[in-house]
Each structure stands twice: as structure tokens, then as C-alpha cells.
């Protein structure tokens, strides 16, 4: 059976496909090169059909998407899939949080778990699962009022093919922001954009300085639900955030970070978020005890808080799939379709690793290589040994292998790699390649079996979603990945899941005695991670990266590069509403279909 998940509306749209025992997924941003793209995921559909050998969208037996009704009660998601993608088969739609929950549990290795969903906002109450009735407390409301109630936190109990909602909370008039929106509002207040929460998290450890506290009661928590007394959504109405929390502080303009004010705000909101999440997760455990926790929603990318949840709750294991944010919605829809609707045998499509993109054939790579002037390339038999040696010599490598990673983290298939031993490597990488804010940390990829020697971490962190302390005696050995507070966002790497990437780090370890490398995403600030060999070559030729490796091809520039000297797009100006998909894009997709 062929089952597709589609994330059609919102930001970070994309598609996932389950077919013939295989699972593929891709975000539209990777293909149309618009970061956090909200375009109808037409390119993603075409990409997945090609990857799986299907020729037409009507070869799909079932499409699952997220429900979105308009004022007339028409399900716009169904309308878009039928009208714009020309699909005639079965469509089922579910709520945004149900999709997050399915992505969290059905991708996990657990037979049984509780599931926590925490994000900015999910579906409106009216958009609850198609066919399901609106919960009693909201039935007396008209459509306009129902829109004031949006999913803010959801808990589920999951076992085998079952995913049962045990509690779902919506925003309420007068309480329009949950924990996720408070964090996003902070990002907007700090002029880091709607998608800058990761930057706030990276900035926070510079704060906490005595006498500078900007602590506030960012939200109240009652019975495991965090809400803030507020009339408007903070992300769209930053004046409400400002008035409530920091009436005497102007919205940040271009003040340098870290500083004494905005950095302390980042610190305070991070601390409150960690404490809030720990309380909420403990409440979930009390009402539904289980040793396994699955967790999704954009807040799940807060890798610092994730470790606090693991350390400060009775949960023994935590699973967060790498696309915990909305880039995993399509994946959740596809998994929901497989296990709950089609009732596929449980565990059949369990998630082996993050590499859900398609691998490029050698012929495709050669065509791309021949299309670029000013490069030389060779096919190497001992590419791993050669690259480990170059890394140890301080070179910066573009590393492109197999299918791309789902989600916002590069995990060794679309990565830029270098040696973490040099203290100046962070600045070199920013100046020559990435052009990111200097305060943001870079992350390590470490051999799993040696991770405890370097980090306070006794479990796997395959998707770079746990931040752990770097052991004190190791901090001076790997300064380029050690953040100001002595922590690092760790990716643990195994031979089974990571193949050649594992071999590379192991070879580097043999040369240097250090079992880790610095791993950052293969892109320049402001652009999506590269997907195709062409994208990788373009990025390579516009930065001072030393060498590029695509599969076994070793690529060097032999002529001048056309360097990009700053962020491709100013991410701090990105607004979720600006990149949303919808009707205005239908003509764009029609022209695509004719090709
Ligand atoms: Fe979400």
C-alpha cells in the first residue's frame, strides 16, 4: 500500500511517503530553496514519487493531511490536494497535534509510551479531526469564536497501533499564548525573527549574571498546562509581549549580542521554559505513568530543556524524532495513515535513522560535476582516510552522502565538518563559510561508545537533540564545540546508523585521539540545507570551504570562487505569515504541472 503524508498549510510544508516497506520524506524548502517554505509541497510530491519509482500521484492509495476548514465549512486541505495536485483517491485529515504525536510515537523504538506535544499553536478547535465532533465546551461557539481556541498542549497514550488522546488543551480568550509562543515571542522581541528560537537558546547561557536578572513570570502552570494571561498572540503582536513583560525595554534593534539586557531576557525565558517543561512532563507522568516518553512539536527542538526533562522526571527514556517541529508534520501524517488508518503491522515502518531523502545516482553526480566550471574532481578509493587526514590538518570539508536528513539538523549526510580542537575554528568557519552570529555554538558528532568520556551523557542522542555538559578535563581539548557554559549539543554516531560518517570520525580518532568532529549544516546562513549535488557545488563555490566530498568524489576548486560574504537571507526578518502557502500559490503549481 502507498501512503502519503502532506503538510500543505503553514510553514515548513513537505511530504512523506510510505511504500513497499520504505519510508521517504522531504521538506519543500530543500527543493524550492526558500527557508521554512510554506508553498504547496508540489516539488516534494514529485521528488518522492521519483524516489520510490511511482509515476503518478494517483498511484497513492491514501493521503493524510492536516485539517483546515474555511468559514463555509469546506476542508481546504482536501480541496487543495484534489484541485492542485489532481488526486482522486482517499484523503483523511487529522489535527496538527495528532500529526506531531504520530510522528513522535510511530517513529520511536517503543512498543508503549506516553506522548507530549508542545509547540506554538496547532489546529483550531473547529479543525479537529474530520468526522470527530467538536469537544462539548466549544460547541456553543460560532465559527469565529472557535478560531480563538487553538491546540496548545496535547498528551497521548500510545501502544502498538493505538494513539489515544488523553488530554488536549486549547488557548482561551484572555490566555492566547502557551509556553511555545512565549519562547517565540522572545525571539521576535530580540529581533531574531519568528524562527529564531534556536538562537535564543544559544544566547541564553551568556546570561545569568549576578544583579542583572530579567526574571518574569512568563506563564502560569495549572494542572500541567502552561498559559500566559494575554489577549493576543505574542508573535504577531509583540507590543503585547513587551507591555506584559518588559514595558521599559525597547524591542531590540541592532544592539550587539551578547549584552546585559537582551541576553538576560534569553536566559530568563530559557530557565522558565526548562522549569515549566519539567513540571508539565512530571504532571503527564503522574496522570499516565510509563517509562517511555515520546515528545514532538517545535519546543522539542530545545535540546537544553530536553536533557532537563530526562534528568528531572521519572521517565527513563525519551524519544524525539529529528523533525520534531513542523517539518515533521508530513511524516506524522504518513505514519498515522499507515498504523491507524491502514492498520499496517506495528513496527513495520519504524524509524531507523534520519536519512529519509533519496540518494543520488553516480550518473546524476557526474552530470552535476561536469556542469560546474573551475573545479577538479577525482573518484577516491580511500575517501574516508583521505578526509580524516585533511580534517586533522585543519581543513573545512563539505560532506555529502546518501539521502538527506529530515528536520533542521545536519547529521552527517549534508554536513560541513572540521576539527573541534582549534579554539579559533568557530570564527574561521563563520568568516569563511557560515556567516552566522558569533555567539551561536557549533555542535559535535561523537562516536557513541566514547561519548561518555567527553560528555555527561549516558544515552544515545542520534539527532542532536540533547545538550550535555562537556567533561571539565575535555573542554580545553575540544574548545570549538564547547559553549560558553561548558555544554555541547551532541550527536552520537554509530556504525549501524551512520555508516561512512562513523568511519570518518573513527579514522579521525585514530589520527588525533579525539573521537569527535565539529558538524554544522551544509548551507550558508539564511539558506536551506543543500539537497542535490548541484546545491552542494553551488554552496562550495560560494564559500571558502576547502574541499567538497560527494559520495566517493573528491572535489577541489581550481579557479576563482564567487564568494558570498554574508547571510543569503536575513533570517531575523523571516515571518511565519509571509511564507505561508495557500490559494495564491495555485497558479505557481499549475505551471509546474505542465512541465
Ligand atoms: Fe507544530
Look up the CATH number of the domain holding residue 26.
3.30.420
| 344 CA to centre of ligand 1 in angstroms | 25
> Are both 550 and 407 inside the same structural domain?
yes
| 298 CA to centre of ligand 1 in angstroms | 6
**Half-sphere exposure (Cβ direction) of 187: Cα atoms closer than 13 Å:** 26
CA atoms of 535 and 542, how far apart (whole Å): 11
| 456 CA to centre of ligand 1 in angstroms | 30
| 482 CA to centre of ligand 1 in angstroms | 30
User: Does residue 142 lie within any of the structural domains?
Assistant: no
Total number of domains in the chain: 3
| 296 CA to centre of ligand 1 in angstroms | 8
User: Does residue 573 lie within any of the structural domains?
Assistant: no
Q: Which of 87, 44, 190, 103 is nearest to 528 (CA)?
A: 44
Which CATH number does the domain housing residue 278 bear?
3.30.420.40
Helical ranges in 212-348 per DSSP H: 238-245, 262-287, 303-312, 329-336
CA atoms of 33 and 12, how far apart (whole Å): 12
**Half-sphere exposure (Cβ direction) of 498: Cα atoms closer than 13 Å:** 26
| 326 CA to centre of ligand 1 in angstroms | 5
| 329 CA to centre of ligand 1 in angstroms | 7
What are the start-end ranges of the E strands in 394-497?
A: 397-400, 414-418, 443-447, 466-469, 487-493
| 371 CA to centre of ligand 1 in angstroms | 39
User: Does residue 132 lie within any of the structural domains?
Assistant: no
> Are both 384 and 286 inside the same structural domain?
no
What are the start-end ranges of the E strands in 160-210?
A: 162-170, 177-178
Type and span of the H or E element at 26: strand 22-27
| 502 CA to centre of ligand 1 in angstroms | 32
- Per-residue pLDDT in tens (0 to 9) along the chain, 595 residues: 999 999 999 899 999 999 988 999 999 999 999 899 988 999 999 999 999 999 999 999 999 999 988 777 788 999 999 999 999 999 999 999 999 999 999 999 999 999 999 999 999 887 654 446 778 888 888 777 887 899 999 999 999 999 999 999 999 999 999 999 999 999 999 999 999 999 999 999 999 999 999 999 999 999 999 999 999 999 999 999 999 999 999 999 999 999 999 999 999 999 999 999 999 999 999 999 999 999 999 999 999 999 999 999 999 999 999 999 999 999 999 999 999 999 998 888 878 899 999 999 999 999 999 999 999 999 999 999 999 999 999 999 999 999 999 999 999 999 999 999 999 999 999 999 999 899 999 999 999 999 999 999 989 999 999 999 999 999 999 999 999 999 999 999 999 999 999 999 999 999 999 999 999 999 998 899 999 999 999 999 999 999 999 999 999 999 788 877 777 777 676 666 555 554 444 433 333 343 3
> Are both 332 and 308 inside the same structural domain?
no
User: Does residue 114 lie within any of the structural domains?
Assistant: no
User: Does residue 151 lie within any of the structural domains?
Assistant: no
Q: Which of 541, 465, 118, 514 is nearest to 295 (CA)?
A: 118
> Are both 329 and 398 inside the same structural domain?
no
User: Does residue 258 lie within any of the structural domains?
Assistant: yes
**Half-sphere exposure (Cβ direction) of 465: Cα atoms closer than 13 Å:** 25
| 140 CA to centre of ligand 1 in angstroms | 27
| 152 CA to centre of ligand 1 in angstroms | 9
| 122 CA to centre of ligand 1 in angstroms | 6
Residue 579: per-residue pLDDT:
52
| 130 CA to centre of ligand 1 in angstroms | 18
> Are both 245 and 331 inside the same structural domain?
no
CA atoms of 581 and 558, how far apart (whole Å): 41
> Are both 343 and 384 inside the same structural domain?
no
| 121 CA to centre of ligand 1 in angstroms | 6
> Are both 540 and 421 inside the same structural domain?
yes
Which CATH number does the domain housing residue 495 bear?
3.90.870.20
Task: Measure Cα distances from 593 to 57, 109, 268, 586, 587 in Å.
Answer: 12, 38, 49, 11, 10
User: Does residue 207 lie within any of the structural domains?
Assistant: yes
| 178 CA to centre of ligand 1 in angstroms | 12
| 327 CA to centre of ligand 1 in angstroms | 9
| 349 CA to centre of ligand 1 in angstroms | 22
> Are both 311 and 411 inside the same structural domain?
no
| 328 CA to centre of ligand 1 in angstroms | 9
Say what the pTM is. 0.94
| 297 CA to centre of ligand 1 in angstroms | 5
> Are both 396 and 542 inside the same structural domain?
yes
| 193 CA to centre of ligand 1 in angstroms | 17
> Are both 463 and 477 inside the same structural domain?
yes
| 123 CA to centre of ligand 1 in angstroms | 9
| 98 CA to centre of ligand 1 in angstroms | 10
Give the model confidence (pLDDT) of 434-492 as tens digits. Answer: 998 999 999 999 999 999 999 999 899 999 999 999 999 999 999 999 999 999 999 99
| 120 CA to centre of ligand 1 in angstroms | 6
| Structural contact between residues 531 and 537, judged by C-beta atoms closer than 8 angstroms | no
User: Does residue 232 lie within any of the structural domains?
Assistant: yes
| 2 CA to centre of ligand 1 in angstroms | 25
| 96 CA to centre of ligand 1 in angstroms | 6
| 368 CA to centre of ligand 1 in angstroms | 36
| Structural contact between residues 35 and 92, judged by C-beta atoms closer than 8 angstroms | no
DSSP letters of 120-163?
A: S---BGGGSSTTSPPPGGGTTS-HHHHTT-BEEEEEEEEETTEE
Q: What are phi and psi of 530, to 5 degrees?
A: -65, 145
| 289 CA to centre of ligand 1 in angstroms | 25
| 463 CA to centre of ligand 1 in angstroms | 18
Q: Which domain holds residue 182?
A: 177-316
Q: What is the CA radius of gyration of the chain?
A: 23
> Are both 270 and 326 inside the same structural domain?
no
| 10 CA to centre of ligand 1 in angstroms | 9
| 438 CA to centre of ligand 1 in angstroms | 29
| 27 CA to centre of ligand 1 in angstroms | 14
| 170 CA to centre of ligand 1 in angstroms | 13
- DSSP state, residue 528: P
> Are both 528 and 489 inside the same structural domain?
yes
Q: Which of 316, 342, 374 is the last residue of a domain?
A: 316
Amino acid at each position: 500500500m502507498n501512503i502519503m503524508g502532506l503538510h500543505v498549510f503553514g510553514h515548513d510544508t513537505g511530504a512523506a511517503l510510505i511504500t513497499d516497506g520504505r519510508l521517504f520524506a522531504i521538506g519543500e524548502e530543500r527543493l524550492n530553496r526558500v527557508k521554512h517554505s510554506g508553498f504547496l509541497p508540489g516539488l516534494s510530491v514529485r521528488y518522492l514519487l521519483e524516489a520510490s519509482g511511482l509515476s503518478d500521484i494517483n498511484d497513492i492509495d491514501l493521503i493524510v493531511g492536516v485539517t483546515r476548514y474555511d468559514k463555509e465549512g469546506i476542508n481546504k486541505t482536501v480541496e487543495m490536494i484534489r484541485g492542485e495536485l489532481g488526486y482522486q483517491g482517499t484523503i483523511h485529515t487529522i489535527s496538527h497535534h495528532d500529526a506531531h504525536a504520530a510522528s513522535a510515537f510511530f517513529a520511536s523504538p517503543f512498543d508503549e509510551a506516553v506522548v507530549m506535544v508542545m509547540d506554538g499553536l496547532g489546529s483550531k478547535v473547529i479543525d479537529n479531526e474530520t468526522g470527530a465532533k467538536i469537544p462539548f465546551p466549544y460547541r456553543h461557539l460560532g465559527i469565529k469564536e472557535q478560531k480563538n481556541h487553538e491546540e496548545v498542549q496535547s498528551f497521548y497514550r500510545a501502544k502498538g497501533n493505538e494513539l489515544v488522546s488523553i488530554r488536549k488543551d486549547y488557548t482561551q480568550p484572555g490566555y492566547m499564548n502557551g509556553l511555545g509562543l512565549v519562547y517565540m515571542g522572545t525571539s521576535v522581541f530580540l529581533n531574531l525573527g519568528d524562527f529564531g528560537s534556536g538562537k535564543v537558546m544559544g544566547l541564553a547561557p551568556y546570561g545569568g549574571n549576578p544583579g542583572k536578572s530579567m526574571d518574569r513570570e512568563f506563564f502560569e502552570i495549572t494542572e500541567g498546562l502552561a498559559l500566559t494571561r494575554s489577549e493576543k498572540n505574542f508573535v504577531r503582536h509583540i507590543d503585547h509581549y513587551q507591555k506584559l513583560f518588559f514595558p521599559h525595554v525597547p524591542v531590540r534593534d541592532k544592539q550587539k549580542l551578547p549584552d546585559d539586557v537582551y541576553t538576560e531576557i534569553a536566559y530568563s525565558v530559557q530557565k522558565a521554559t526548562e522549569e515549566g517543561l519539567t513540571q508539565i512532563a512530571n504532571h503527564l507522568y503522574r496522570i499516565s505513568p510509563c517509562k517511555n516518553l515520546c515528545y514532538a512539536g517545535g519546543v522539542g527542538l530545545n535540546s537544553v530543556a530536553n536533557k532537563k526533562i530526562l534528568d528531572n522526571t521519572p521517565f527513563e527514556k525519551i524519544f524525539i524524532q529529528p523533525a520534531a517541529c513542523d517539518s515533521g508534520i508530513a511524516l506524522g501524517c504518513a505514519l498515522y495513515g499507515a498504523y491507524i488508518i491502514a492498520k499496517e503491522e506495528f513496527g513495520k515502518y519504524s524509524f531507523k535513522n534520519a536519512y529519509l531523502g533519496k540518494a543520488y545516482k553516480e550518473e546524476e553526480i557526474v552530470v552535476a560535476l561536469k556542469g560546474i566550471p573551475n573545479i577538479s574532481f577525482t573518484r577516491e578509493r580511500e575517501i574516508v582516510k583521505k578526509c580524516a587526514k585533511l580534517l586533522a590538518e585543519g581543513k573545512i570539508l563539505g560532506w555529502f552522502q546518501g539521502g538527506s536528513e529530515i528536520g533542521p539538523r545536519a547529521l552527517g549526510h549534508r554536513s560541513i565538518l572540521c576539527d573541534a580542537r582549534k579554539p579559533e575554528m568557530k570564527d574561521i568557519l563563520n568568516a569563511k563559510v557560515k556567516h552566522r552570529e558569533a555567539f551561536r555554538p557549533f555542535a559535535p558528532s561523537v562516536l557513541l561508545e566514547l561519548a561518555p568520556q567527553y560528555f555527561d551523557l549516558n544515552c544515545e542522542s542520534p539527532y542532536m537533540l540533547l545538550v550535555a555538559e562537556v567533561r571539565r578535563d575535555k573542554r580545553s581539548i575540544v574548545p570549538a564545540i564547547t559553549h560558553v557554559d561548558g555544554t555541547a549539543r551532541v550527536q552520537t554516531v554509530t556504525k549501524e546508523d551512520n555508516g561512512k560518517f562513523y568511519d570518518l570520525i573513527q579514522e579521525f580518532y585514530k589520527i588525533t585521539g579525539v573521537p569527535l568532529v565539529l558538524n554544522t549544516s551544509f548551507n550558508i546562513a539564511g539558506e536551506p540545507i543543500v539537497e542535490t549535488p548541484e546545491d552542494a557545488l553551488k554552496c562550495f563555490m560560494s564559500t571558502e570551504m576547502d574541499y567538497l566530498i560527494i559520495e566517493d568524489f573528491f572535489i577541489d576548486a581550481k579557479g576563482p570562487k564567487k564568494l558570498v560574504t554574508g547571510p543569503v537571507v536575513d533570517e531575523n526578518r523571516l515571518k511565519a505569515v509571509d511564507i505561508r502557502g495557500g490559494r495564491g500559490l495555485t497558479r505557481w503549481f499549475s505551471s509546474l504541472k505542465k512541465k
